[in-house]
Chains A and B, each alone.
Chain A
Amino acid sequence: MARKSRCCPRSAVARLALSGAADVRLLEAGLSVGEALAAFNAAHPQAGGVASFLGKVRPSAGDSPVKALELTHYEPLTLPGMEHLAEQARKRFALDGVLVWHRIGVLTPGEGIVLVAAAARHRRGALEAVDFLMDHLKSAAWLWKREKRGIGWHWIEPRAEDHAALARWQ
């Protein structure tokens, strides 16, 4: 989008400070996993466990090599929607904290697209929250993804499995 966005220009700063119980960001560049998880861990000392998931740009789709992946968003809806989702997860799984970071823009194979983390008293809540967040980000967040492979760009649509995965939580 051309308009000014509420995104963070950098994924992390030297001393990363996370905001409260839910840290939700759209990132225009880089996604520093180690730093994010270290800060998240430090922000929730009372938790008994932290679970996380990192989604990455795959190097190929079937037989075609993927050259790039582009994620677009819609400013008025995307971040508010992700914040609502993080809050749902926090309440549903009684989390001490939740982190949801999503990249936008053009990415290359191997780069991180999405990082979610959940801190809870017990592991089950943390693991389930991460699963819940990813199922919703895949097919219920205001993001559109296309891959550059072969001669052009190809839009990615959620698969039937993605919808089925989402339905598990309803």
Chain B
Amino acid sequence: MAVRIVFLGPLRDLAGVAERDAPAPLDWATLLETVGPQLAEQLREERVHVACAGKVLADKTALLARDGEEVALLPPVSGG
């Protein structure tokens, strides 16, 4: 088991994949290391949100994903 990282929207282009697995547990610092400098820079931006286990985190730096949980990286949205 691991943590699955899901890349949405333009972040998927940057990552080059839709999703990837990382060892659990996954915290904010480890997430930034795992995704590499280019994506880490994006993730630090205020307008990029992070969801863990289906809930958007109010404070993404408090991320702590456990075994089997999914972490979604959510760039600015554009629907309608």
Interface residues of A (CB under 8 A from B): 1-2, 55, 71-72, 74, 76-77, 102, 113-114, 134, 137-146, 155-158
Q: B77–A2 contact, CB under 8 A?
A: no
List 26 A-B pairs, Cβ < 8 Å: A74-B6, A74-B8, A74-B51, A76-B54, A76-B72, A77-B51, A77-B54, A77-B72, A77-B74, A102-B79, A114-B79, A137-B79, A138-B80, A139-B76, A140-B77, A141-B77, A143-B80, A144-B8, A144-B77, A146-B9, A146-B10, A155-B10, A155-B13, A156-B78, A158-B77, A158-B78
- The answer to whether B78 and A144 have CB atoms under 8 Å apart is yes
B80 near A142 with CB under 8 A, answer: no
Given that A72-B8, A114-B80, A134-B80 are known contacts, is A144 also in contact with B75, CB under 8 Å in the complex? Answer: yes
Which of B74, B76, B77 has the most A CB atoms < 10 Å from its CB?
Answer: B77
- Contact yes or no, B80 A76, CB < 8 A: no
* Inter-chain contacts of A158 with B (CB < 8 A): 76-78
Whether A138 touches B70, Cβ cut-off 8 Å, given contacts A144-B9, A155-B10, is: no
Smallest Cβ-Cβ distance to B73: which chain A residue: A74
Please tell me if B56 contacts chain A, counting CB pairs below 8 Å: yes
**Nearest CB of B to A100, in Å:** 11
Complex Cα distance, B12 from A30, in Å, reads 26
A155 to B12, CA, bound (A): 11
B20-59 contact mask (Cβ, 8 Å, vs A): 1 or 0 = 0000000000000000000000000000000100101000
Contacts of B77 on A, CB cut-off 8 Å? 139-144, 158
Chain B residues in 8 Å Cβ range of A77: 51, 54, 56, 72, 74
Per the bound structure, the CA–CA distance linking A143 and B54 in Å amounts to: 15
List residues of chain A with CB within 8 A of the CB of B51: 74, 76-77
Min CB gap A70→B, angstroms: 10
